Amino acid sequence: MKALILVGGYGTRLRPLTLSCPKPLVEFCNKPMLLHQLEALVEAGVKHIILAVSYRADQMEQELKSVEEKLGITITISLESEPLGTAGPLALAREHLTNDNDPFFVLNSDIICDFPFKDMIKFHKHHGKQGTIMVTKVDEPSKYGVVVYDAECGRINQFVEKPQEYVSNKINAGMYMFSPAMLNRIELRPTSIEKETFPGMATDGELYCMELQGFWMDVGQPKDYLTGMCMYLTSLKKKNSSLLYHGEGVNGTALVDPSAKIGKNCRIGPNVTIGPNVVIEDGVCIKRCTVLNGAHIKSHSWLDSCIIGWKCVVGRWVRMENVSVLGEDVTVNDELYVNGGRILPHKSIAESVKEPQIIM
């Protein structure tokens, strides 16, 4: 079985992190984002994964070689010379996807959830039509593609992208399963699967959906990345995962890599992810944050809702809050206040950022 993951391009919404690292390789809860999806796909029996990429293909290829070996699968990069949207990449990868008659998965690379791939296969084969979409219930559907469907059998009647008025509270969760025949509907040009392909499939009665259980988040931007992290950690807690940190200073759910060092009198958590080789000095309070590999947080600082990039150094008595994001190798001097600051890589901050802004 195969899967196509829509990785896309520059990952601009997750800058400054994606200035140093392609988005699929940015760690989410101590594992590259892509790997969360890959592991779940492999568990469901997928052997060949195609990554639809329009940027930095070679860097990804390098990094993924070891993953290929470890998981025993094939990873192919499908490089778009011009960005092909959300449907075009399927046409580009047609060759790979049609060499047998099995249905294949298509996923948005930013999705984090309790991946239901095994159930999707069952459901798709049962209804036998061309497409299955996973849907999830959200509070504010107007930001997404909304799905109106028959609750009995799951057949989709209507597919409305970003509706102005309330239509339904179930949205497209960005995970699909298609039969190869469906590829005849897509031309090799920049195409939006939501706007151009799905409405036609719905009218023809070829599109079905299944409701996702559990948490769901599109973690393609910092605010949602942190919300998604909280959801993921909560689900780890429910499963009583041994990965969770119970060491000194813990307060609620926290994921701490064994190689990280945590000082005295700290308060770590709730909802904190600490990556490998991170150093947290004495008296530090961190909540609702991700601290990426090799970062160093000095003593008595206070961090809330931040993403601290790789190898950053945060000084003493620093206060950071309000979805501040530090790119790779950023230094924040002692005693500063960073409120909603987005700091580009290799920058040294010597003055407080009192109101949300971008520091180049």
What residues line the site for other proteins (CB under 8 A)?
265, 282-283, 285, 299-300, 302, 304, 316-317, 319, 321, 335, 337, 352, 354
Least distance CB 317 / other proteins (angstroms) = 4
Task: State how far the alpha carbon of 181 is from the alpha carbons of 16, 90, 276, in Å.
Answer: 40, 12, 45
Smallest gap, in angstroms, from Cβ of residue 283 to other proteins?
Answer: 5
For other proteins, the closer CB: 195 or 319: 319
In the bound state with other proteins, the residue whose beta carbon lies nearer, of 140 and 355, is 355
- At closest approach, how far in Å is the CB of 338 from other proteins? 11
> To the nearest whole angstrom, how small is the minimum distance from the Cβ of residue 185 to other proteins?
53
Of 215 and 317, nearer to other proteins (C-beta) is 317
Whichever of 121 and 284 has its CB closer to other proteins, that residue is 284
Assess contact for 297 and 284: CB atoms under 8 A.
yes
Q: How far apart are CA 173 and CA 138, in angstroms?
A: 10
Distance CA 251, CA 292 (A): 19
Nearer to other proteins, 237 or 264 (CB): 264
Write the single-letter amino acid at 272. V
Q: Of 118, 122, 137, 162, which residue is the catalytic one?
A: 162
**Minimum distance of other proteins from residue 319's CB (angstroms):** 5
Q: 66 exposed, middle or buried (CB, 10 Å; 0-12, 13-18, 19+)?
A: exposed
Q: State whether the Cα torsion 67-68-69-70 is positive or negative.
A: positive
**Among this protein's residues, is 122 annotated catalytic?**
no
Q: Distance (Å, rounded) from C-alpha 249 to C-alpha 3?
A: 42
Please report, for residues 18, 87, 122, 172, 209, the alpha-carbon distance to residue 153 in angstroms, rounded to integers and kept in the order given.
41, 26, 14, 17, 9
Structure tokens at 18: 């994606």
Q: Catalytic residue positions?
A: 162
